[in-house]
Amino acid sequence: MSATDGADDFETIRVDLDERSYDIVIGAGVLAQAGTRIAELLPSSRAIIITDETVNSHHGDALRVSLDSAGIAQSTFAVPAGEKSKSYDTLQSVCEAVLEAGMERGDVLIAFGGGVVGDLAGFAAGVVRRGMPFVQIPTSLLAQVDSSVGGKTGINSPKGKNLVGLFNQPALVLADTALLDTLSEREMRAGYAEVAKYGLIDQPEFFSWLEKNHAAVFAGGAARRYAVATSCRAKADVVKADERENGARALLNLGHTFGHALEASVGYDATRLVHGEGVAIGMVLAHEFSHRMNHCGPEAAERVVAHLKDVGLPTRMQDVAGADFDPDTLMNAIAQDKKVQRGALTFILTRGIGQSFVSKDVPRDAVAAFLRDKLAAR
């Protein structure tokens, strides 16, 4: 495939995990095929759509029409939009809604929304009746290129982000790139941070392509589908090699250790900072910290900053509304990171654009001093 292929075609990427394998279908208009594809994959199933109130108002009827046309009986349960729905209370409400709807183990949960809904519904599908199949229909750029693929599900704890959850692979992912047209500019930019991440991990040529074509990705059509498909293919390859994040999959967390700490420090307040913005700042910090630790030259971070600024993403902690970050608070959040092993800090660092690596036993004092210096900068 190339970025100039017809925009109305669908591309299918296989996530090869033996008996847990599944397809990601990408393209404008694939939502209309949801009912047919689910009926073929899970015949005689009923469905419950887990979504959020915003997505339900924009796209809920289109999904229900598709399911009706395939003879799939369904109900819908909508949660409030936003990161705060990734909570114990909301998880309980979703589980109870599934049971109230009379869903059985052979029925299907449909996660219809962004990353919050996907994580929440996927977690519920993994625990209700000790496991039910679920289908991801991601409606945000961030979810299409990242959270809908790979089976990570979960909720946030007051101690930190995504600390309670499980690995639960979907049965199918349907990424309709036309749905992204209803996103705000801020949501699109936030999702784009995860697209850029794949180039920065190990695909420098993709990052170069993004530097030249990011406006076309935002505009839609073939360039958008190419960016989504390239990102999904990269993630599928990593997940195949390391499904449970015992090694190389940790590279997908480039920028996330710093980013998650920033999100926790603002109390997951999306008016101040959304996940992709935290990742953008985190990727800059990861490159700058890599330079401080003599892993790469300053030009890598400078290039990342320049590109993310071109896109309209924040690149400094001081860019966050009401920025009042405390280095000790950030370090406490970093200590809760899922990659911490026996108290030792693990970061994804880099030797240059597209040359990321897992660095274990990173000195706490070095990280704390780095954060103090970055927060003091003007």
Q: Which of the residues are catalytic?
A: 130, 152, 194, 235, 245, 249, 253, 256, 260, 275
Handedness of CA 293, 297, 298, 303 (dihedral sign): negative
CA 211, chain centre distance (Å): 21
From 364, 360, 368, 363, select the one nearest 341 (Cα to Cα): 360
Separation between Cα atoms, residue 332 and residue 194, nearest integer Å:
25
What DSSP assignment string belongs to 81-116?
Answer: SSGGGSSHHHHHHHHHHHHHTT--TTSEEEEEESHH
Q: Which residues of 19-42 are buried (b: 16+ CB within 10 A; e: fewer)?
A: eeebbbbbbbebbebbbebbbeeb
Tell me how far apart the alpha carbons of residues 197 and 176 are, in angstroms, rounded to a whole number. Answer: 21
The residue whose two tokens read 């591309």 is: 11
Three-class DSSP category at 237: helix
